[in-house]
Structure formats: C-alpha cells, structure tokens
Structure 1
Amino acid sequence: MAPWQTDRFRDRIDAGEQLADVLSSLRGKHPLVLAIPRGGVPIGRIIADRLQGELDVVLVRKLGAPGYAEYAIGAIDEHGRMQISQEAARAGADEHYLKQEAATQLALIRARRQRYSPHHSAIDPAGRLVIVVDDGLATGATMHAALQAVRAHRPSRLICAIPVAAPQSLAAIAGMADDVVYLCAPASFRSVGQFYLDFPAVDDEEVVRLLQGSPGPAKASAEAVEIGADDVVLRGDLEIPKNATGLVIFAHGSGSNRNSPRNRHVAHALHSHGLATLLFDLLTEDESREISLRFDIPKLTARLDATLQWAMRHASTKSLPIGLFGASTGAAAALVLAARYPMAAKAVVSRGGRPDLAGHSALARVKAPTLLVVGGADSEVIALNRAALGALTCHAEMVLVPNATHLFEEPGTLEQVGTLAAKWFHQWCNAQPSGMHG
C-alpha cells in the first residue's frame, strides 16, 4: 500500500494524471484498466492512455437496505456474485428481500453494460495485469465488490488505484488487491468531492465517449487579463471554449476573489455547455482587507460596470451575448448593473446571493431573466431572496438546493448549481450581439 501526499485535485483529469505518474513503471506492460462508473471512467481513460493499456468498466451495484436504499448491506457484480455484510440481518433484509434486491440491481448492471459496450462483452481480466480505479473511496463497499469480482477471474496481478480515500475504508480493502495506490487519505475525510476543486457529475454519454477512446472536449483557452477601473487595475481570468455561444461575467461575494473554488466549479460547468467565463477581482488586495468595502454595492457595481464595458470591447468577447453570475454581495452588484443596462445583460444568476442589497428600485427595473439559487438549509438568505423575488418584475425564479448551506459545501450541491446556471444561461443568452443601451 503506497501513499503519495498531494493537495486537492483540480478535477478528475488532474487526479488521473497524478495517478498515472505514480503508476508509470507499468507503462508498456499492457495493463487492463477497469474503471468504476461513472466517476472513475475519466480517471481510467487517462491512466489507460498513459500506460498504453486497455480501458473497460467493472460493473458492480450495492444492495440497499429495506426502506433505505443508500445504506449498503452488500453488493453484486455483473455475473450475479453477491457479498452480503453482517449488517444485512440487522437492517431487516431477509432471504426473500435479498433475492429481490439482487435481481433489481443485476438488471440495472446488465442494462448499463449494454449501454456502455453494446458491441462486445466485458474484457476478460484472466491472466492480465489489472488496475481497478475510481475517483475516490468513501465507504469502500463498491470498490470491495469490484476487487472481489475481478479477483474471481484470476488476474496475474491486481492493483487498486484511487486519488483519495477515507482511512478506515482504505484499511478495509487493503487485503483485496496485490497493491493499493492512493494519493492521500486525510483524517478529515467527509466526502470524495471535498478534495476536488471541480467535481462535475459524469453522465452516461461521457462514459461511452471515453470508453470508445474519444478525446474529451477541447479545453477552454485561458487568458490572464487586466481591467482598468477607478484608477486601479483589476486582475481577471478569461476562459473561452471553442465555438463559445456566450460570456458569463462572475461577481464574487464578500471576502472572496477570482480564485473562489465555488465559482470556478460553476465556471467549469459553463465551459462544458459552450459558455465563456470571466472571473475577476472586484477589489484590489489592499481594498479587500477593508470589510466595509465588501458591502459597498455602488463601488462593486462600478467595478462590474467597467468589466462589462471591457468585455464588450475585447476582441475575443465583444460579439458574445453576456450573462452575469453573482454570489453573496456580488449578486446585488450584478442586479444593479442589469437594471442599468437592460439590453446588455441577457440573464442573471445569483448563488447564495444578497439580491436585497440591490434595493427595491433597482430590482424593479431589471429586465434580464433572473434565477435565484439558494441553499435549502440557508434559512436567513432564503427569506431575503424571497423578498427580492417579490420586487423583481422581470421573468424570475427561485430554486432551493436541498440540504445545502450558504457555501454549498455539501456533496453534490455545487454540481446542482452548475447545472442550473448552465441551463439558465443557455436558455436566455441567445446568439445575438450585446449592445450597450442605458
């Protein structure tokens, strides 16, 4: 078992590249890389390519407890082999229930195999050097079942490779493989997504594309930019995917800056939907130390205004329709600016925002379709957003993300924000050029 210390990963590509580096001694040995779908497949694709191996998926499903499907009481592989935990009986799973649950999960496995590889059966791991990969190890139940399923085929060597793992789960699978390679196993482990800056959901379409060996979508071109405003220079990061259909300008919240991992997570989701993004610092480093400036909506709006005008002059973005994405106090600045330039801002999205700080008068003048996304557990901000929603006269909606708190730190909540924002901007940012009209 080999640990390799690392910081958080940018995304699954970064994690896959780091694991491939650690496994580089296997290059040329034609390993069979078996990825656990869906999240393990992007990582498996990189490792298979870097090590000159083959990629396939290993299909296992957990068996859920009666009345609580998320609680694993066992697992089943695509050959019907089951492993049942000691918790099954205590959870109320009798023989009849286990038989029904196994049949349900096996049907799902076979449907997934048909979807992922309709023209060939699973690659046989017998006698092969096999690397089983996933994007992280939480409870370890799925990985345990996957390793057990592969071991039954008698590979010549079995390796488990994972970027991040919960220490107790790592110990539980230690004897299941000939070697376990992991990059970090922090004691503070809460969820796999906690250790990725960008952790978007992987859909079946992407899995099929990766299994077929197709390269991923072209990365957005990145450019560091400088924007003049109020006799200061604001630093920004402009990223434009190929054939971009719009530009989303981000206005971060109080105490944050253009490097906000939450906003960058959303920006990544927008790139995959063909939208360019501009993240920039609303305040200079010195200004950001003054707490009062973080809530100075007129100043923040002026900075956002200067950035909007810069984007409409810049060669790479001047022809793109523009949307505004605001978080916390940045949402208020975005809405004030949308009220100021009703023809320029095509759509607005607020994440955990303070739209109330825009003021009733500005909210009433906003014409751009506006989406207010709030954490379902962020009760105080929910009330403030409901009040703002009532003041908006444009097409406006409010969506609560279940169980999310103010910073959307709970697993899967930022993915929901990214999906909601991408759909909203895609719907309302049409391909017509923006114009500055007051």
Structure 2
Amino acid sequence: MLSGSEPATWRPEGATTGTVVWAAGLLGDDRTALTAATLELLSHRDPVVRAGALRVAAQSLSGRRSAVADLLPAVARRLGDPEPDNRLFAARVLGMCGRAARPWADALAALSTEAGEPHQPTRSHALWALSRLGDARCVPPLVRRLTDERHGFASHSSHADGWWTYELSLNEVAADLGSHADVLLPPLRARIPAASSLDERRVLCQLLTSWGASAAPAIPELIALLDTDAAVWALDALAAIGPAAAKAVPHERLRALLDAPPADQPFAPRSLALAYGRLTGDREPALRLLLPQLGEPYGQEGAATLLAELGPAAVPYVGRLHELLTRHAQGWLPLRAGEALWRITGRTDEVVPALVRAITPFAERGGACPAVIETVRLLAEIGADAAPARPVLRAFLDTDERPVRHGTWRSVPEDDALCEAARGALLATSAPGDAA
C-alpha cells in the first residue's frame, strides 16, 4: 500500500497520523522500503498523512544516524507546510538533529520571528532549533519574548517518550546560550523580581545555574530570592556562579537557611548544604547530612559526589568508596564512586576497569543513558590511564544505530553528546601513533 503506483492519492478511510505510523510499521525492518515510503508520504497532498510521515521520519532519525542524510532534507521542506502543526513538527525534528540541520538555518531563522511565522508555538520551536545549532539569530527574538509578560515557554521540561509536541521549557531553549548572557540577562534580571509564581522563579534560577559564571551580573537578584520560596534554586545558581557570588552573598543568611530549610521542600536540606559548602568552603553541614547515606541502600551517589569535591581531604572514606564501586554494575553509582576515588587518591588501576565495565554493555546493545555519557567524559578527564576504554569508545562511534534510547526527542541530542564525549575521550587517551 505504502509503495504502490499512486502514493500521492493514498489515504485510508478516516486516516489519522496514527494510521500512517501503523501502516509504516508494517514494513518492519526493511529500511529501504521505509525510507522510500516516508519520502513519498512527506509530500502527500493530505496534511494528516504528512503529519504521520513526519512522525515516522522522527522515529527513524532517532534510531539511525544514516537516516539524517536520507530523510532530513525532506523533513526540512515541511518548514513551508501550509499546516502550522506540520511546520512546528518539522522545526522540532530539525532542532532534535542539532548541527546536522545547519543547511536550513536560514529557514529556521525566518520562522523564529512574527514577520516570518504567525504561529507562536512554531516560532518557539524554531528558536529552540536555532539554539541547538548554535546560531546567534535566536537571541534577538528571544530577548523580545523575555520582555513580554507571557514569554510562551513552559516552566518544566518534559522527558516523555514519543512524539508529543509539548510546550518547550525556557531552559530547553536558552540553557546553551550563556555566551549571549550580556544580551539576555537584562530582561531575565527584570523578570526575577516581577515573577508571580514559584515555578517562574525556579525556572529563572535554573537557567542562570546552567550559565554559571556568565550569570554573575544577576547576583543581586539571586540574593534577594534567598528570602523567598525559591531560596534553594537561588542558592544553586549562586554556587554555580562561583567566587564572585561567594564574595557577595551574606554568610549569615546562608547559615539561617541551613538552620531553617523550607519545610515543604523535602530536598531542601541536602541542596542547601551542598550549595553552602561550595560557596563558603565549609563542608561540615553537607558531610553530616550526606555521609550517613553511604551505608544506606539508596542515595549513596550524593555522598560520593561530595567526597569527590573534597578530593584528598576525603581519604578517610576511601574504603567505603571501594565497596560502592562494584555494588552496582551500571548507572550513576559506579560513576560517582569511581570519580570520588580518582579525585581523592589519583589512582586509576581499580577505577578505570569499573568504569569500562559500566559502559561496555551499552556499546553492545544500545540504550545508553546520561550516566554513560558522564562516564565517558570522566574517562576523557582521566586521560592516558583510561586507554583500556578505547575499544568501547570506538564502538560507540562506529555504528549506524544510535546507542541510546530511541523514540524520544532526546534521542539525537543524547547521541550527539555521547559521540562528542567519545571523540574527546579517544583524543585524551591516545598515545603517539594511535588512531583517534
């Protein structure tokens, strides 16, 4: 049916986007036929069929790197679709594919302004796509949006699987724009005291946290938030800014927060203690709170992270970290325990094999999660001593199937991050004469 002689007139009675996705699934693992059918249906005269084809294309792109060359140009043509939801979806797919979408940056830039796109949700997705490309043309329209009372971005990011076109969050759109903080900070700083809800205050703090030291001009506004329900997130942002914030923040106010954390935020004591230590150098409150978790069934990752930050001063806890290193074969715990042991002792003879064991299954079967990406980054930081990881690092790169979870808007960004980390680790672990 999908590859018949007259695909341009095909539409089952009462077809929906789900019907198209279901019909495409009948082609099974025949990638050649699936690609051909998707390309034909992306140009179908019926907007519902085109919408279904866009979802089929997104699924293929989330699973195979070669699908970028096969399908992305046809998806990009849907940026001019008469149906606004199809334009939105096409912009989102291009944004998902990141720098591979650079050939269509001009079209995305045109969609990011009111003059070029009347549909605000589509403009939001075009802005996000430009930010994923690292294209500075997303900044002026974003500044204009931030000066509006309703900027049109969500306060929470969604991690749902599937191809829902949920509203993008402010953090998703702007977290990677710290290099443009000089332009974006004025409207953001104005929004902080004017924010009417905890959700808005929280998301603004989280954005500034992602920018780190670049957010330093917002220190006065963040200090003012220490007297509000957003104190925990404000303190996180101040800690991320670093020394400039440490000099400016009143230590007695921080101590008062530690002594009386918000009762309705059960995570507050831990977060406050960690941020307090990063700002003041006094790690005792965090040690008292987190070290008991080393002996608990859950929560050891936070304690290990703290010990990694302490470095050689945490030598008394090396024995307990050794126990944690092999407690779980995969996930965050071997990463956090391994990093702590390395930063405390400088030794890699036990740490590197554990880290390699933790990531190897994902090179073989896929499904890599953010913990795998962070582990690869740690191997790069370890450097030459992590050379035993080179075969698995190459395996992450030498595959067409993306070794991450498929079927989600985060699939390609996570694969991009994994590839970037693997390339960096191969370079860091190479010896003279090695092929990177």
TM-score (norm 1): 0.30
* Structure with greater proportional helix content: 2
TM-score (norm 2): 0.31
* Structure with greater proportional strand content: 1
